[in-house]
A and B are shown apart, each in its own frame.
Chain A
């Protein structure tokens, strides 16, 4: 300051400098105690826009992650059910081959026919598999059994709607196999229940032509169920890939968010101690400079 200094001015300068120091000190303190660099939008208006976008992405990714987990559970349970269905079809095929042997006695064939018939109700049971009280093959009518245990046929009308999940932005996949795809094989003319019924009847009458036809149809169904399992496996594969991609992405997003929002602790703490010592020095100077004047020395 060039020129005269008044007593008030010295005090005012000191106070304004001290206030500036104190503001910086409390800013450092806040950064250290919260660990955050951005606490309000004005702390970094550009950073906040990026940070809010990242937070939204994080929220969405978390939701997709949950969707994937749920879809995987659904797909795996379906796969297990399909595996059981496949075993049933294979057993029916074995029995058909066994029963087609002309040397068997009538009584033995009748026994085989009876086992074939029981396979049908086993298949219905598999078709009525559920997950958390929801029927896997019921389409969107998850609250009703897709196959009627009394008649051993699909409940009409068959609900062929897909259950969809969003597993990534704009990527929707269906996780369910509907009853029609389980019971009807693309090449076969008859559904699995009819085929089993026909086989049982053919075994009863020892109609080798019909048994042969049933064998062919069972092959078609075996292929169909295998294909369905393959379809599910491909989806599981894809979801697991997406899931691990999300896991990596989550780390990257968290990292980026932390770089924008979080305080650099080493830096913040250094600043804090530096500012603290400046503040203390200012206080000490103030105590020395403000107090004395000529008043204290005149006698």
Chain B
């Protein structure tokens, strides 16, 4: 036979557990928009019934229920979706970095446009054509010098833009590495806090959410492998083969990427295969820099323009009878400029092919204008000067297009992963509201039960045994 107050205890478990559930609803609602938050649920079960089986157990028709108990606070999260999400986040980071930088270049090269190199080259050849009509005209000579200056300036500017983009990529690599190491430090700290909570047998749901959010952020920078090796709740994060966060020793091995693009974690070589750091390193060392990069290509073109224009110019004769003058100075896109003698006087511009043909001889100017159709070996290709630049423009176009397409595709995949994640762990207001009503009713019912029991006790204590008084 149970105690008189048995029922009170049963009802109390209802009050306490429903209150706990209501608090959790409240926690879910308030964190509905918190980044990285996973909804929580209180799992409940019927308490161990009375009596427990024993030799001297009270005799009765059966066990009687003793109320409800909260068994655990559950964080609703799918670890497989996390793996998928992080791998995709790395790809998005990679193509985001690439697409951003390239779309800027795509605009600054101004093709088709009036300040692009194609237009400047066309103007330059056109000015030589005009000079061939009136080689002794100072105005025409001035036009040749001016269009040459514009062309050199165009090369300087584009080279500057490309170098600036490369420098920016380099700066962002540095910032990215610092951020990854910071995030790894925070993960390491959370690892320790989580282990302490787990050690006393509880689930640190909110700390885990925070840690997962940090890991998601790291995944944007580099592809990572996350594992939870022990039962102490700590995770390890590896970049390539090397541990960035080592739970065994509670240490962070710092990531570093050299100027040549070689990645190390804790001083040991490893590989970063995706993530924004990969995208930026590719951008810095292969797309912009490197032997086949835009900067090298532009320099190759500039060197070819300088060399072939000078080769023709030096054999011609200026209006003042001098010969052997170079038209352009410099050897790269950045250093290209009008040669000093030409800059000083336009009479040095060599339109004539012999001294005897001065002043109206224009065969050299005609030769110069024809240079635009001369197919020559430029870098690895055999094409015209204009043709080489067109190839380069088309390549920038293809690269940009591809990067933004890949970015779009991966963003779509990431959105799908996010949707799957939300579908498991996201807070749904309607659901929480109906839970709130459910738990509130349960709470009210349990409280009502206590009132009823109170009335019953009142009956026993105050109203019983008063017969005959």
Q: Which of B121, B362, B427, B430 meets A164, CB within 8 Å?
A: B362
Q: Which residues of B contact A63 (CB under 8 A)?
A: 125-126, 129-130, 369
* Max count, chain B CB within 10 A of own CB: residue among A40, A41, A53, A59: A41
- State whether the Cβ of B358 lies closer than 8 Å to any Cβ in chain A: yes
Considering only residues 332-365 of chain B, those with a C-beta below 8 Å from chain A are 352, 354, 356-363
Residues of A within 8 A of B32 (CB): 7-8
Q: Mark B29-57, 1 if CB is under 8 A from A, else 0.
A: 00011000001000000000000000000
Is A121 part of the contact surface with B, judged by Cβ < 8 Å? Answer: no
A154 nearest CB across to chain B (Å): 16
Instruction: Count contacts on A: residues with CB < 8 A to the other chain.
Output: 56
Q: List 16 A-B contacts (CB under 8 A).
A: A4-B426, A9-B423, A12-B415, A44-B397, A49-B393, A56-B386, A60-B126, A63-B130, A66-B133, A70-B133, A134-B134, A140-B357, A164-B363, A165-B133, A165-B366, A169-B370
- Which residues in chain A, 226-247, are within 8 Å of chain B measured between CB atoms? none
With a cutoff of 8 Å between Cβ atoms, the chain A residues found around residue B164 in the complex are none
Residues of B within 8 Å of A141, CB to CB, are 358-360
Kindly state the separation between the CA atoms of A243 and B361 in the bound complex, as whole angstroms: 24
Which of the candidate stretches A84-92, A99-107, A205-213, A291-299 sits at the interface with the other chain? A291-299
A143 at the B interface (CB under 8 A): yes
Per-position contact with A for B361-380: 1 when CB-CB < 8 Å, else 0? Answer: 11100100110110000000
Q: Give the CA-CA distance A13 to B422 in the complex, in Å.
A: 11
A-B complex: 5 closest residue pairs judged by Cβ atoms: A6-B426, A41-B397, A45-B397, A59-B122, A42-B400
Q: For the complex, give the distance between the alpha carbons of A210 and B96 in Å.
A: 96
CB pair B372–A56 under 8 Å, yes or no, is: yes
CB <8 Å contact, B400 and A295: no
Query: A161 at the A/B interface (Cβ < 8 Å)?
Result: yes
Given pairs A48-B390, A55-B118, A143-B136, 14 additional interface contacts (CB within 8 A) = A4-B428, A4-B431, A40-B107, A42-B396, A53-B390, A56-B118, A56-B121, A59-B122, A67-B132, A132-B134, A143-B360, A164-B132, A294-B429, A295-B429
Contact B429 A142 (CB under 8 A): no
- A residues near B121, Cβ cutoff 8 Å: 56
Contact residues in A for B119 (Cβ distance below 8 Å): 55
Q: In this assembly, does A261 line the interface, its C-beta being within 8 Å of a C-beta of chain B?
A: yes
Partner of B109, one of A6, A41, A134: A41
User: Does B24 interact with chain A (Cβ within 8 Å)?
Assistant: no
Contacting B at CB under 8 A, from A86-140, are 132, 134, 138-140
Q: Does B401 contact A (CB under 8 A)?
A: yes
For the complex, is B111 an interface residue (Cβ under 8 Å from A)? yes
The CA-CA distance from A170 to B366 in the complex, in Å, is 10
Q: Quote the shortest CB–CB distance from B85 to chain A (angstroms).
A: 14
- Contact in complex: B122, A55 (CB < 8 Å): yes
Interface size on B, residues (CB 8 A): 68
Q: Measured between C-beta atoms, what is the minimum distance from B7 to chain A in Å?
A: 31
B106 near A41: Cβ-Cβ < 8 Å: yes
The CA of A8 and the CA of B422, in the complex, are separated in Å by 8
Which of A4, A40, A56 touches B423 (beta carbons < 8 Å)?
A4
Residue B418, interface by CB 8 Å: yes
Chain B residues, Cβ within 8 Å of A163: 360-362
Asked whether A46 and B122 contact (CB < 8 A) given A4-B423, A165-B132, A293-B430, the answer is: no
Residue of A nearest to B403 (CB): A42
- Is B129's CB under 8 angstroms from A295's CB? no
A251 at the interface (CB under 8 A from B): no
Q: Is the CB of A298 within 8 A of B397?
A: no
Residues of A within 8 A of B373 (CB): 60, 169-170
Instruction: Check if B64 is an interface residue, CB within 8 A of chain A.
Output: no
Within the assembled complex, what's the spacing in Å between the Cα atoms of A40 and B362? 38
User: Quick one: which of A35-67 are within 8 Å of B by CB?
Assistant: 38, 40-46, 48-49, 51-53, 55-56, 59-60, 62-64, 66-67
| B143 proximal to A (CB < 8 A) | no
B193 contacts chain A at the CB level, 8 A cutoff: no
Contact A4/B424 with A41-B396, A44-B397, A143-B359 known, Cβ cut-off 8 Å: yes
- Residues of the B chain whose Cβ atoms lie less than 8 Å from the Cβ of A60: 122, 125-126, 372-373
In Å, the complex CA distance between A293 and B130 comes to 74
Contact A6–B422 (Cβ < 8 Å): yes
User: How many Å lie between the Cα of A63 and that of B368 in the bound state?
Assistant: 13
Contact B434 A294 (CB under 8 A): yes
Contacts of B112 in A (CB 8 A): 38, 48, 51-52, 55, 261
- Name the B residues within 8 Å of A132 (CB-CB): 134
Is the beta-carbon distance between A140 and B426 smaller than 8 angstroms? Answer: no
| CB proximity of A72 to chain B, nearest CB, Å | 12
Residue B404 at the A interface, CB < 8 A?
yes
Contacts A8-B33, A165-B132 given: A52-B111 contact, CB under 8 Å?
Answer: yes
Is there an interface contact between A45 and B401, defined as CB atoms closer than 8 Å? yes
- Whether a CB of chain B sits under 8 angstroms from the CB of A151 is no
Which of B132, B360, B422, B437 sits near A134, CB closer than 8 Å? Answer: B360
Cα–Cα distance between A142 and B431 once the two chains are bound (Å): 96
Residue A5 CB within 8 A of the other chain: yes
B419 at the interface (CB under 8 A from A): yes
CB-based contact B419/A56 at 8 Å: no
In the bound assembly, the distance between CA atoms of A143 and B424 in angstroms comes to 91
CB distance from A279 to the nearest CB of B (A): 18
Report B76 CB to chain A, min CB distance, Å: 10
